Each structure stands twice: as C-alpha cells, then as structure tokens.
C-alpha cells in the first residue's frame, strides 16, 4: 500500500508552478541544473534523476496549429540535498527562457 501512495505522489505531486532562478552548467546537449532560488531561499540540487522534453501544443484548442505554437520545455526531476524531490522545467520556447518549479514530488 505504501508503494502505491508513493507512486500517486510522484504522478500527482504538490503543485507549485512558480518561476525560479536556476544556476546551471551548460553541457553539450543541454543544461544541467545545479541549484535554484525560490521565494528568496537557495536550494542545492544533489542529483538530477530524470530529464525529458515536451513538445506539445498544450490544451488550448487550435483551428490550424502551427509548429511555432508548440511548447518547448525541458523537464527535470531533481533531488535536493535535504532529500526533497521536485520537478522543474526550462521553457526554452518562451522569449524569457523561464525556469519553473512545477511541483514537489
């Protein structure tokens, strides 16, 4: 039963959806987040557990979708030094190239 609850927490998580500042290392093939700042506090990333890209059109109905309307996000599941796990993403399709703290897992 405990495993099922942990899986549901991983899928659902605690939604946060706030912009953050991320310190990262530029590598061939992408960025490696090292730390982030959220609500004035600094958080060190111990390990990146998973990375994937999202290229969807979102949920808004489009009559004739175009390639330039797609999302271009890179998601990261990160484990912090205190043991907490979060999902963050880099919105490389936006003009600002924002980072977002999506949820606590």
Counting the structural domains of the chain, the total is 1
**Quick check: 37 pLDDT over 70?**
yes
pLDDT in tens, 44-67: 999 999 999 987 765 555 566 555
The H or E element containing residue 38 is strand 30-38
Q: Are 16 and 85 in contact (CB under 8 A)?
A: no
- For residues 26-52, give the mean pLDDT: 95
> ∠82-17-83 over CA atoms, to 5°?
10
**Quick check: 20 pLDDT over 60?**
yes
pLDDT in tens, 56-97: 765 555 566 555 555 689 999 999 999 999 999 998 876 778
Task: Identify the pLDDT of residue 80.
Answer: 98
Domain that holds residue 75: 2-104
Helix (H, G, I), strand (E, B) or coil at 62: coil
């Amino acid at each position: 039963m405990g495993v099922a609850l942990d899986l549901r927490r991983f899928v659902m998580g605690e939604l946060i959806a706030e912009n953050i500042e991320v310190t990262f290392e530029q590598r061939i093939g992408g960025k490696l987040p090292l730390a982030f700042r959220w609500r004035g506090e600094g958080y060190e990333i111990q390990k990146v557990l998973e990375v994937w890209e999202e290229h969807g059109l979102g949920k808004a109905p489009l009559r004739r979708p175009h390639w330039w309307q797609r999302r271009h996000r890179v998601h990261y599941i990160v484990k912090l030094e205190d043991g907490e796990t979060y999902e963050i993403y880099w919105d490389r399709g936006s003009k600002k190239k924002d980072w977002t703290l999506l949820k606590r897992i």
